[in-house]
Amino acid sequence: MNDKQEWFKSRVEQVSPEIMSEVQMSAGIIARIDKILNEKNMTQRDLAKKLGKNEAVVSRWITGLPNFTFRTLSEISTALGEPLIKLAE
């Protein structure tokens, strides 16, 4: 392993389990949004229009690690016509 990989690995090991879980959940939701967009042949622009949002906002969601609210997740789910999160019964 090179120095950069060692440095990165040591930093990741210092991240709390709670933060790691949050990052994993955000990444999973982003992947789900991207998958649905691809399945429906939609673009980020299409989603932005359906949500009445600026395309840059949707782009930041897809390329970053957003802190989604339940309201935003509900709005996205409704706009896509697909659930982003499935809760256990």
CA distance 53 to 45: 9
pTM passes above 0.95 = no
Q: Establish if 13 belongs to a structural domain.
A: no
Enclosing domain of residue 69: 18-80
**Residue environment code for 36-65, b if the CB has 16+ CB neighbours within 10 A, otherwise e:** bbeeeebebebbbebbebeeeebeebeeee
Q: Establish if 6 belongs to a structural domain.
A: no
Residues 10-49: pLDDT tens digits? 887 888 889 888 888 999 999 999 999 999 999 999 999 9
The CATH number of the domain where 40 resides is what?
A: 1.10.260.40
Q: Establish if 53 belongs to a structural domain.
A: yes
Q: Establish if 73 belongs to a structural domain.
A: yes
| Other Cβ atoms within 10 Å of 76 Cβ, number | 22
Nearest CA among 37, 36, 33, 23 for reference residue 66: 23
- Per the structure, the count of domains in the chain is 1
Supply the pLDDT for residue 78: 96
Q: Establish if 63 belongs to a structural domain.
A: yes
Q: Which amino acid is at 7?
A: W
Q: Establish if 43 belongs to a structural domain.
A: yes
